[in-house]
């Protein structure tokens, strides 16, 4: 089996949001302390909406960038072994409807669209191993696309 997903996915999904939340909490604590010590409780009226809006935007961004990613994906020939939060599922390449690649974001991302929902849903997002200044399709992504195409053709001919 060869690993398709980045080794840092588990770390990024759990560490980056915690660090960001801690940094955000320090900024809010400093602003609240400054408003209270400065004798300007009206300053809290500015801080509270900012905290709510910024917290909501942060959650949305983290959800889209990190929380949707599965922990690891392994290529085992004709199936992908997908692991996320102590759950594992084997998905045949023929059950993948399409493969989407977004290489100009960090981490670069592959989304698998499935014919039938799995325990992870009908879309599976994978953080891929990346190379610096890579402007071409990653070889492992191209191999995955070719494998999915071949598996779907075999299914069409056998039906």
Query: In this predicted structure, what is the pLDDT of residue 13?
Result: 86
Q: Where are the domains of the chain?
A: 1-159
Strand 121-127: give its sheet, edge to edge.
96-102, 109-118, 121-127
Query: In this predicted structure, what is the pLDDT of residue 120?
Result: 93
pTM of the model: 0.78
- The residue to which tokens 């990190």 are assigned: 66
Q: Are 82 and 89 in contact (CB under 8 A)?
A: yes
Query: In this predicted structure, what is the pLDDT of residue 95?
Result: 92
Query: In this predicted structure, what is the pLDDT of residue 134?
Result: 65
Query: In this predicted structure, what is the pLDDT of residue 11?
Result: 84
Q: What 3-state class would DSSP assign to 118?
A: strand
Query: In this predicted structure, what is the pLDDT of residue 132?
Result: 66
For the chain, residues with pLDDT lower than 70 are: 131-134, 157-159
Q: Are 81 and 66 in contact (CB under 8 A)?
A: no
**Burial letters 93-102, b for 16+ CB under 10 A, else e:** bbbbeebebe
70-115 pLDDT, tens digit per residue, is 999 999 988 999 999 899 999 999 999 999 988 777 778 899 999 9
Q: Are 55 and 24 in contact (CB under 8 A)?
A: yes
Query: In this predicted structure, what is the pLDDT of residue 131?
Result: 67
Distances (CA, A) of 79 to 11, 70, 104, 114: 25, 16, 27, 13
Question: 1-159 has which fold?
Answer: PH-domain like (2.30.29)
């Amino acid at each position: 089996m060869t690993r398709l997903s980045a080794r840092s996915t588990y770390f990024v999904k759990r560490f980056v949001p915690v660090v960001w939340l801690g940094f955000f909490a320090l900024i809010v604590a400093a602003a609240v302390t400054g408003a209270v010590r400065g004798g300007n409780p009206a300053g809290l009226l500015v801080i509270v909406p900012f905290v709510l809006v910024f917290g909501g935007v942060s959650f949305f961004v983290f959800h889209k960038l990190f929380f949707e990613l599965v922990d690891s994906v392994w290529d085992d020939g004709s199936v992908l072994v997908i692991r996320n939060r102590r759950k594992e599922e084997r998905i045949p390449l023929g059950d993948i409807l399409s493969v989407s690649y977004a290489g100009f974001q960090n981490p670069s991302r592959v989304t698998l669209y499935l014919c039938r929902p799995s325990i992870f849903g009908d879309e599976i997002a994978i953080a891929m191993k990346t190379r610096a200044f890579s402007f071409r399709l990653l070889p492992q992504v191209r191999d995955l696309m070719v494998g999915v195409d071949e598996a779907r053709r075999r299914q069409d001919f056998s039906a």
